[in-house]
Amino acid sequence: MARTIRWGILGTGGIARAFAQALRDTPDAQLVAVGSRTLASAQAFADEFEDEFGVAACPSYEALVAMPEVDIVYVATPHTMHAQNALLALGAGKPVLCEKPFAMNLREAEAVVSLARRRGLFLMEAMWTRFMPALAEVRRLVDAGEIGEVALVQADFGFAATRDPEHRVNRRELGGGALLDLGIYPLSIAMALLGPVESVRAGARMGPTGVDLSTGFTMLHRGGTVSVSNCSLRARTACELSISGELGCIRMESMFHMARAISVTAADGSTRRIATPFLGNGYVHEAMAAGDALRAGLLEHPLMTHEETLAGMRVLDEIRTQIGLRYAADGEDGRVGRLGTVTGN
What contacts 24+ positions apart, CB below 8 Å, involve 316-319? 316/101, 316/105, 316/179, 316/180, 316/184, 316/187, 317/105, 317/106, 318/200, 318/202, 319/179, 319/183, 319/200, 319/202, 319/215, 319/217
Catalytically active residues are: 100
Q: What are phi and psi for residue 108, nearest 5 degrees?
A: -65, -45
Count of beta carbons in the 10 Å neighbourhood of residue 263: 16
**DSSP codes joined into one string, 182-205:** IIHHHHHHHHHHH--EEEEEEEEE
**Could you tell me where the beta strands, DSSP code E, fall in the chain?**
5-10, 29-35, 56-58, 72-75, 96-99, 123-126, 150-158, 197-206, 212-221, 226-232, 241-245, 248-252, 261-266, 271-275
Give the C-alpha separation, 228 to 203, whole Å: 12
Rounded Cα–Cα distance for residues 267 and 246 (Å): 8
User: Quick check: 200 and 319 in contact, CB under 8 A?
Assistant: yes
Spatial separation of the C-alpha atoms in residues 9 and 239, rounded to whole Å = 29
Cα angle 157, 162, 168; round to 5: 85
Please state, as a whole number, how many other Cβ atoms lie within 10 Å of the Cβ of residue 261. 14
